[in-house]
């Protein structure tokens, strides 16, 4: 509430002060309070949403993000985009599951769920990631992906870093938010949405090939 009052003061000062050249000026402000353990990116997104809402509602106003919005299930941090499809059904299903689990984890943390519950969910997600990496490496070997070695090396590094962080969280040397940040920034944003897309031409080939084959059968 303090931030909303401060923003309101700023807005009023700007509105009442005439600029010598521009004349009357107004400002739209979005405010969001960071929830306990809420990832910075998610918090920034809520602030942005509040700002857009202030502009949409006619500008020259302060809009505070509805904190209830961050309750479980309501807020989706990331939704699946068609361009993230690799063409391999197994990989795509696992990638979608990874994003779904991360969304859930973020909403759990934002809703202030207990440490134990969050750790259990983090464990499930990490298990899923490890199994997914193994599966993906199997497909990349099958496809004779030329950069297989470096890709598998990145997987290995990500897993060992995640395990180290998990250990540090367990014995209180790191905050669970550091592990979240790692999963969100390094595993999802950095790896899944960047490095994985490099092999798509190899996994998409399969789909293009099977379409060509069915076209031949049809003709």
Contact residues for Fe ion, defined by CB under 5 A? 136, 196
User: Which one, 31 or 192, has the nearer CB to Fe ion?
Assistant: 192
The distance of closest approach from Cβ of residue 143 to Fe ion in the complex, given in angstroms and rounded to an integer, is: 13
- Cα distance between residue 209 and residue 206, in whole Å: 5
Integer CA distances (angstroms), 179 to 9, 39, 218, in order: 37, 10, 51
The distance of closest approach from Cβ of residue 78 to Fe ion in the complex, given in angstroms and rounded to an integer, is: 15
- Cα distance between residue 21 and residue 116, in whole Å: 58
Q: Which residue number places its CB atom closest to Fe ion?
A: 196
The distance of closest approach from Cβ of residue 141 to Fe ion in the complex, given in angstroms and rounded to an integer, is: 13
User: Which one, 38 or 196, has the nearer CB to Fe ion?
Assistant: 196
Q: What SS3 state is found at 62?
A: strand
Burial bucket for residue 67 (CB in 10 Å: 0-12, 13-18, 19+): middle
19 bridge partner residues:
23
The structure tokens listed for 84 are 């993230």
The distance of closest approach from Cβ of residue 211 to Fe ion in the complex, given in angstroms and rounded to an integer, is: 23
The pairing of beta strand 62-64 with beta strand 29-31: parallel
The distance of closest approach from Cβ of residue 36 to Fe ion in the complex, given in angstroms and rounded to an integer, is: 30
The distance of closest approach from Cβ of residue 95 to Fe ion in the complex, given in angstroms and rounded to an integer, is: 6
User: Which one, 43 or 200, has the nearer CB to Fe ion?
Assistant: 200
Name the CA radius of gyration of the chain, rounded: 23
Of 100, 112, 31, 122, nearest to 71 by C-alpha is: 112
- Helix or strand run (H / E) with residue 162: helix 148-170
């Amino acid at each position: 509430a303090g931030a909303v009052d401060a923003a309101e003061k700023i807005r009023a000062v700007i509105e009442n002060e005439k600029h010598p050249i521009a004349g009357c000026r107004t400002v739209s402000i979005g405010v969001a309070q960071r929830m306990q353990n809420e990832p910075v990116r998610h918090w920034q997104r809520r602030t942005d949403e509040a700002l857009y809402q202030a502009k949409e509602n006619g500008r020259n106003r302060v809009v505070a993000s509805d904190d209830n919005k961050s309750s479980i299930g309501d807020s989706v941090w990331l939704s699946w985009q068609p361009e993230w499809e690799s063409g391999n059904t197994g990989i795509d299903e696992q990638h979608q599951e990874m994003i779904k689990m991360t969304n859930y984890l973020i909403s759990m943390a934002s809703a202030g769920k207990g440490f134990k519950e969050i750790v259990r969910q983090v464990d499930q997600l990490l298990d899923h990631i490890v199994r997914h990496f193994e599966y993906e490496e199997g497909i990349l070997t099958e496809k004779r992906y030329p950069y297989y070695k470096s890709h598998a090396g990145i997987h290995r590094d990500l897993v060992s870093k995640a395990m180290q962080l998990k250990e540090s969280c367990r014995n209180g040397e790191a905050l669970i938010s550091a592990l979240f940040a790692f999963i969100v920034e390094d595993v999802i944003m950095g790896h899944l949405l960047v490095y994985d897309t490099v092999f798509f031409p190899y996994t998409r080939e399969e789909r293009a090939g099977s379409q060509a084959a069915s076209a031949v059968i049809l003709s």
